[in-house]
Amino acid sequence: MSRVHFAAVGPLEALNYAARAALFDRATSRDVGIRTRTAAVVERVRTEGDAALRAYAREFDGVTLETLEVPRARWRVALDALDPALRRALERSAANIRAVHEAFRPVASEVVTADGVRIGRRPDPLGRVGVYAPGGRATYPSSLLMGAVPARVAGVGEVIVCSPPDASGLPSAVLMAAAELAGVDRMFTVGGAGAVAAMAYGTATIPAVDRIVGPGNAYVAEAKLQVAGVVAIDAPAGPSELLVIADEWADPVVIATEMIAQAEHDPLASVVLVTWAPAIAPLVLAELERLVPLTPRERIVRESFAAKGGVITVGTRDQAIAFGTLYAAEHALIATRDASAVAAELRNAGTVFVGEASSVSFGDYMSGANHVLPTGGMARSYSGLSTLDFYRWTTWQVIDRAAAGRLADDVGRFADAEGLPGHAAAARQWINAS
């Protein structure tokens, strides 16, 4: 039986350049091959529309599509045929997602900056949003719910979903059922970079949207980046990531199980353990040797660990937190005795799971927090999907005549300094206003 290999194992200070790069260089957009192939797909869909989508369905999915849109009646059939226990789980998840996102809805606000000057800002729901629901190696109804339910909470006018077809030429039955539960308006059986391009530019069948949300593989993530100048996107969300920060109080079985759970997503998934407790690392490695051969997705897990995985030791708690802040993972699991204190100090993570019992799997499916999160180190500057992603903000300004008179002289001086006499004149006409 072959051993489980990692891209990096051992003390952080002893890692060579290649091992450090394997851990930190996770942005798929740096892959020239992915970037080039994605650009070709995006451009073909932009220029050929539905014909390109049908051609890619034959090439990538092995199906000939009679129609790109999934009839609404098929959603209802899929929901009615769903295993009752699974349906209850989906309904529970949707209810929790709705509750969390309703609590975080933004509200309008107004401030008085001077006597007679009021500035306000209000959140306006977007007109149409596109949700990408991944397929392929695995089917993710959870991702559909994470995108569509918050959009509905925000009051988006129309919510569409794109998801790859299976051998039947339709998205998987559980995805269609989830679309019905989430109150989606339209669903299309297209996937990959082509689906992103279709939602960005629009085709004869698929309407252009105001924002594209949802996770996907490296090609989907790259396509979102390439169309970001045309349509808003949520965040660069590529292959899954997990950073575990653990001490001697951690349960090695729990940690190993969590690492396997995230590695099984994709061979490009990134899973790293960092600890300042020398004894925990070999115990976790031993459990991984025992558990990896038992997982049905063993090959994917092994490839993930070998490409982007790590078991890293550092000297102190502060060094572990500093590593985590620099690593900027999609998911961070804090498995330490003082988990809340560590979580309070950790920056740059898509979402933080505080304590061993806070399994990332609960966040993936049921807690209600959103699991569409930035990857590739982009948690340094992006946040996870929330209701904020489904609004644009309108700012208003109210300045009465007397306030205009009080502002006019200073504004005129600014405009003069910038060489804009028209601006100065527009302001100074109010100098004698009453």
Question: 238-258 burial by CB neighbour count: b if 16+ within 10 A, else e?
Answer: bbbbbbbbbbeebebebbbbb
Q: What is the pLDDT of residue 239?
A: 82
Please indicate, yes or no, whether residues 98 and 43 belong to a single structural domain of this protein: yes
Residue 72 lies in a domain: yes
Q: What is the pLDDT of residue 136?
A: 64
Q: What is the CB neighbour count within 10 angstroms for residue 12?
A: 19
- Give CA–CA dist 388/396, Å, rounded: 19
- Out of 222, 258, 287, 330, pick the active-site residue: 330
Per the annotation, the verdict on 66 as an active-site residue is no
Please indicate, yes or no, whether residues 198 and 224 belong to a single structural domain of this protein: yes
Structure tokens of 31? 């892959």
Q: Could you tell me the CATH number of the domain that includes residue 256?
A: 3.40.50.1980
For residue 268, give its domain range: 8-26+239-368
DSSP sequence for 180-248:
HHHT-SEEE---HHHHHHHHHH--SSSPP-SEEE----HHHHHHHHHTTTTSEES----S-EEEEEE-T
Please indicate, yes or no, whether residues 182 and 317 belong to a single structural domain of this protein: no
Per the annotation, the verdict on 158 as an active-site residue is no
Regions of the chain short of the pLDDT cut 70:
1, 28-30, 136-138, 434
Please indicate, yes or no, whether residues 69 and 22 belong to a single structural domain of this protein: no
Q: What is the pLDDT of residue 137?
A: 60
Q: What is the DSSP letter of 57?
A: I
Residue 120 lies in a domain: yes
pTM to 2 decimal places:
0.91
Coil/strand/helix, residue 354: strand
Please indicate, yes or no, whether residues 229 and 265 belong to a single structural domain of this protein: no
Task: Tell me how many domains the chain contains.
Answer: 3
Please indicate, yes or no, whether residues 212 and 88 belong to a single structural domain of this protein: yes
Sort strands 270-275 and 310-313 into parallel, antiparallel or unpaired: parallel
Q: What is the pLDDT of residue 266?
A: 86
Please indicate, yes or no, whether residues 89 and 193 belong to a single structural domain of this protein: yes
Please indicate, yes or no, whether residues 232 and 111 belong to a single structural domain of this protein: yes
- Out of 180, 222, 287, 331, pick the active-site residue: 331
Q: What is the pLDDT of residue 380?
A: 92
Please indicate, yes or no, whether residues 57 and 135 belong to a single structural domain of this protein: yes
Q: What is the pLDDT of residue 426?
A: 97
Please indicate, yes or no, whether residues 210 and 148 belong to a single structural domain of this protein: yes
Residue 2 lies in a domain: no
Q: What is the pLDDT of residue 434?
A: 58
Q: What is the pLDDT of residue 347?
A: 92
